[in-house]
Amino acid sequence: MNINTKIIETVAEFLVHAITMEDESAERYEMLADSMEIHNNNEVASVFRKLMQYSEKHADEVHDLAAGMKLPSIAPWDYNWNCPDFPEGGDCSDMVNYLMTTRQALDIAMHNEVRGRDFYAWVARESPDAEVRRLAGEMADEEQEHVNLLQAMLERPEFSSEPPMEDFDPPNMPEG
């Protein structure tokens, strides 16, 4: 996938990007939580639910900022991400499985939150519009708070040596 690095120049364009990113982030965390619950991995599901709530709160804030504004319609392939895919939802599918530990879930979340923070920081540095830079800077700071929270969780002793989950119902292979 090509990386489109066209600079975001207007507040409306920035808000469309932020709304898309935050809504998608909440949706993906919810899907991951649902998946973990189906597989009775409730501890990891709880982590993803908490992250979903953070993303929903962030999305609500961005929707409030955009209230009453005429926002441009941007085709999915025309977003100005500075990375493949959208920043807070990079493809971590190879890392997700129903036996994942809380540590592994936190690692995925950290990956996504760092990418989100870096996207907002990039916009704050590169946009020619002062208001876009201000808004993006504030959002980068909020994402940094999420990164700090996740870092603190990752440093907790119970997650540093967490044993893998046991599969009480492994796939059955026919004996040949």
Q: pLDDT tens-digit profile of 95-148?
A: 566 777 778 888 888 888 898 899 999 999 999 999 999 999 999 999 999 899
Residue 175 belongs to some domain of the structure = no
Which long-range CB contacts under 8 A does 41-47 form with residues at least 24 apart? Answer: 41/98, 41/99, 41/100, 41/165, 43/102, 44/100, 44/101, 44/102, 44/104, 44/105, 47/102, 47/105, 47/106, 47/109
Q: Give Cα 170 distance to the centre of its chain.
A: 30
Note the pLDDT of residue 84.
42
Range 57-77 average pLDDT? 85
Residue 127 belongs to some domain of the structure = yes
Dihedral through CA 117, CA 49, CA 155, CA 143, nearest 10? 10
Residue 174 belongs to some domain of the structure = no
Across 54-109, where does the E strand assignment appear? none
Domain of residue 79, residue span: 11-159
Question: How many structural domains does the chain have?
Answer: 1
Q: What is the CATH number of the domain that holds 127?
A: 1.20.1260.10
Residue 100 belongs to some domain of the structure = yes
Note the pLDDT of residue 14.
92
Note the pLDDT of residue 86.
46
Range 24-46 average pLDDT? 85
Range 47-56 average pLDDT? 89
Answer whether residue 151 shows pLDDT above 70: yes
Residue 6 belongs to some domain of the structure = no
Residue 171 belongs to some domain of the structure = no
Answer whether residue 90 shows pLDDT above 80: no
Residue 104 belongs to some domain of the structure = yes
Q: pLDDT tens-digit profile of 71-84?
A: 877 766 666 654 44
Mean pLDDT of the residues in the chain:
80
Task: List the one residue out of 120, 126, 115, 88 whose CA is nearest residue 6.
Answer: 126
- The residue with greater pLDDT, 35 or 160, is 35
Answer whether residue 2 shows pLDDT above 50: no
> Residue 108, Cβ neighbours under 10 Å: how many?
23
Residue 68 belongs to some domain of the structure = yes
